[in-house]
Amino acid sequence: MKARKIILACILLVLTACGMAETEVPMSLEPNINPPNQQVDDFFAEFVSEDTPGGAVIVIQNGKILHQAAYGLANLEEDIPLTTDHIFHLASVGKQMTALGILMLVEEGNLNLDDPVGNYVPEVTHFGEDFTLRHLLHHTSGLPDYDGNIMDALYARSDTPTNEDLVAVLSEMTELPSTPGDYFEYSNPGYDLLAVVIERVSGETFPQFMQSRIFDPAGMSHTFSLPNDKRRADPLVAMSYTGESGTPEAYPYDNLDNLYGSGSIYSTTADMALYDEALYTGKFVSQATLNEAFQPAILNDGSTEPYGFGWELEEWNGESYVAHSGAWLGFNSDYVRFPGRHLSVIVLLNRDYDYPNDPRIALKIAEFFLR
């Protein structure tokens, strides 16, 4: 009788453990059982050869991988071929993850999209009540990009400036170049400032928040945000190349690498596919909250700008899709998403030259599957 009770207790412990683990199971995709898509292979062959930098691509629909492949070299000097496991800089594609972090905090009741940024970063209170989180997300805040004045002020503080250096520079600006809401002006400093908001409200560093709230829950085990030593320590991080096809130059780092929020995330195509699928499930925020990210900016004169929260709002043959591209450190990235078809294409390149981009590269690949 005692032995039976012990066995039952063990079974209960196992069942309890399984129940606990169930909530922590990361996202997964159905394995790729499809043959390579010849159209995609031929497309990449037009600009990538076996001895040049190249890239990786994944096409997914309804949680199934339709095509996944890598082309070219990850490192020219060491003659290392690119694989689908290699890690690339996402550049500005990472903006949508910064925006997602803000939406998480909104849904938790920790902030409001129409709050002045100064409520959370007192150093910019002088920009006024209309300098809001929503304006930063839409690039309509009146804050310019990293122009000469901001850059000069940053480098006057440090050779490798940080987000806190940016806050100090903004605190010394007497006024914004334009009134919030008047114009759309793409602003990397705006998204770096949003990362500061995330840090001040959550109590975590931006890289920690991204890891614990987005990467880990989605099972993105090869994704991280700078600053992070894994960038140079992990052999799967691809080297990037800038210049031109005849004389490509390795581009291993930049003095602005310690700024994050506008584009500081490294990932793989497979991890990005997990992220894409997680957006459909409510794992991060509800669909109602996420839908805010796909609304156009409304300017003060009533006109609209087709940019949401880190997403470009586009159309193809009358069909809506959302997307974003990025270019930094010799990397190029492009991500298109057709929510109505549950179809997405993610392209990550380790070169910033000689690649098809008219229309955008991920859309050109998507067309093979949309026709």
Residues with a catalytic annotation lie at 92
DSSP assignments along 22-44, one per residue: HTTPPP--B---SPPPHHHHHHH
DSSP assignments along 312-331, one per residue: EEEEETTEEEEEEEEEETTE
> Closest Cα to residue 255, out of 179, 182, 176, 151?
151
CB atoms within 10 A of CB 197: 24
| Contact of 261 with 209, CB cutoff 8 Å | no
Hey, is 80 helix, strand or coil? strand
> Closest Cα to residue 143, out of 161, 159, 128?
128
At CA 100, angle to CA 341 and CA 296, rounded to 5? 65
CB atoms within 10 A of CB 8: 10
Tokens 């100064």 found at:
118
Tokens 């060491």 found at:
78
Tell me the CA end-to-end span of the chain in Å, nearest whole number: 67
Burial 140-167 (b: 16+ CB within 10 A, else e): bbbbbebeeebeebbeeeeeebbbebbb
| Contact of 203 with 196, CB cutoff 8 Å | no
- Which residues lie closer than 8 Å to 291 by C-beta, 6 or more apart? none
CA distance 276 to 285: 13
CA distance 111 to 91: 26
CA distance 209 to 229: 17
> Closest Cα to residue 279, out of 344, 210, 196, 334?
344
Give the type of residue at 281: T
